[in-house]
Chain A
């Protein structure tokens, strides 16, 4: 119960940070995906079924707070979780250097997938002018910066979230499988 409340609170605050804090410091297209990175960290360390509900909740909060059609970010987060989980199961290994490199790749894949999915659905949903308008954005300096910022956010959040997971695991008296 406490674990559920804590995770919901983390997602709620991360949504607020995403909408009301980060846009002050970053330009439009380079604002880091704070909530998405939290989901990526969880999904890379746990199984899809246990993180699915948090991906849905995070996406729902993002949709509500950013005035997007309900379902847009939910789908993007769930799809990213699915992709990252599939990749991490195949490629994440215990060796530190290789694991670190893989995490960098996972964050980049997650960021690109999220941007592509939200951009494409917004376009076919008629919220922007014309299809594939968002594609040139992937080659812009702002998007490159967004990737870097997301990696920075990942580096900042990874250890605290890992610690939190261990605390929950201890409280639940369950075994944490190290990968």
Chain B
């Protein structure tokens, strides 16, 4: 009897495994699209509620944790405020200069984008591919390939899959993500790629081009999907590519993707 049971258990396991392998490697994404859309439709209100609840709980804990530091913070902020007031005056001048330079470089003014604000309602739980789920979909005009930024013009990623009320955003740190970029200071061109969800690498930079640690990396606008001039990060380390044909730079992203609440999809460029 136990042998019979074991064999039935083994047979079931082997059959299920075989079907799973077939599905994974055949990867019939489109076949399961209706199921996925239905699931996401049903899950959307729950996901939104759970994400909001999680954020509130996180904020409460952060608040409780920060009570002790508030007095010191207050004194520091007063000092900072004094110095910032004087800085604002000099920044007014820089703003004017920035507008002139943007016009000369033909960078799109960030306030001219048609931005669709989207709440983040889910994140990659396994770290296999880096993505966010946003609470806007095709019914709000979201389309595949749209760039996603945070309010101050920092590129987060691109819309990868669109459902009726929610969409998946592939982050720059995803290993399958690739965006054309420039070194702002030296104009060196390259391709920013994700490294297994861990960080960013600026790849395919010609050996003749100059890269410096601390340089700012922005999108180049090549390829047309992502507008020119969106901030990506700062160069942390420079090295040669494994085949020594190109230079590579490890780029530190300007934001922590895990802490994002609200992002903006760029609907027109």
A interface residues, Cβ below 8 angstroms from B: 12-13, 15-25, 27-29, 31, 48-49, 52, 56, 61, 64-72, 74-75, 78-79, 82, 85, 118-119, 121-122, 125, 127-129, 133
Contact = CB atoms under 8 A, between A and B. Distances in A.
Interface in B125-163: 125-131, 133, 161
A78 B20 contact: yes
A127 B12 contact: no
Given A25-B54, A125-B27, 15 more contacts: A13-B46, A21-B53, A24-B51, A24-B55, A24-B123, A28-B130, A66-B124, A67-B129, A69-B27, A69-B29, A74-B23, A75-B20, A78-B13, A82-B9, A127-B175
A130 B88 CA distance: 49
Given A22-B125, A23-B125, A64-B36, A16 B24 contact: no
Contact of B196 (A23, A125, A129): A129
Contacts of B35: 64
Interface in B187-216: 195-197
Given A25-B54, A75-B20, A67 B168 contact: yes
Chain A to chain B: the 3 pairs with minimum beta-carbon distance, closest first: A71-B23, A75-B20, A23-B123
Contacts of A128: 128-129, 175, 196
Nearest to B59: A24
25 contacts: A12-B46, A19-B125, A19-B133, A20-B46, A20-B133, A21-B54, A22-B125, A24-B51, A25-B54, A49-B8, A49-B12, A56-B16, A64-B40, A65-B39, A66-B126, A67-B129, A67-B131, A68-B126, A70-B28, A70-B32, A71-B19, A74-B20, A75-B21, A78-B13, A128-B175
A74 B16 contact: yes
Interface in B40-55: 40, 43, 46-48, 50-51, 53-55
